[in-house]
């Protein structure tokens, strides 16, 4: 996994270009010069952003799916629907394809949130709504459930 750590607030310009913060690009290092993969979010109106290395690891796993099973093939087809390869321009902007802008309902203010396997790009108000939908007690219970069988 090679994603930056943190939550970043950015601006989307009128042409659908997202200026990535300097700290974000710095953490990516040489990966910022390589391609990225964008896909519609699996659990809502956001985008998933993968470095090409992380996407290729995911691709290797997906290639093991039995494509002779119609249901699995249909799920794979739907999962890959809308996937786009993108690159940062010379100014450090990510051009988000119009189709993905519409599907993710991104407005001017955007949040990039670093997950462990990828990054997510959210409309700022939708992100805040999602994050704030979990109160401190629910977070504590969720973390307990997630990590209770693990040793650190």
pLDDT tens by residue, 109-145: 999 999 988 999 999 999 999 999 999 999 999 999 9
118 and 31 Cβ atoms separated by less than 8 Å: no
Question: Cα–Cα distances in Å, from 3 out to 27, 35, 39, 60, 65?
Answer: 8, 13, 16, 18, 26
pLDDT of residue 24: 87
Q: Say what the pTM is.
A: 0.91
- Domains in the chain and their CATH numbers? 7-147 (3.40.1550.20)
């Amino acid at each position: 996994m090679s994603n930056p750590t943190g939550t970043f607030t950015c601006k989307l310009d009128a042409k659908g270009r997202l200026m990535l913060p300097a700290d974000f690009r710095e953490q990516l290092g040489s990966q910022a010069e390589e391609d990225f993969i964008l896909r519609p979010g699996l659990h809502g109106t956001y985008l998933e952003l993968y470095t090409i290395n992380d996407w290729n690891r995911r691709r290797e796993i997906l290639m093991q799916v039995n494509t002779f099973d119609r249901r699995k093939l249909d799920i794979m087809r739907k999962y890959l629907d809308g996937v786009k390869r993108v690159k940062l321009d010379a100014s450090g902007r990510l051009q988000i394809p119009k189709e993905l802008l519409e599907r993710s309902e991104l407005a001017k203010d955007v949040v990039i949130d670093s997950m462990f396997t990828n990054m997510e790009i959210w409309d700022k108000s939708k992100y805040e709504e999602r994050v704030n939908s979990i109160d401190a007690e629910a977070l504590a219970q969720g973390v307990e459930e997630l990590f209770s069988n693990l040793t650190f």
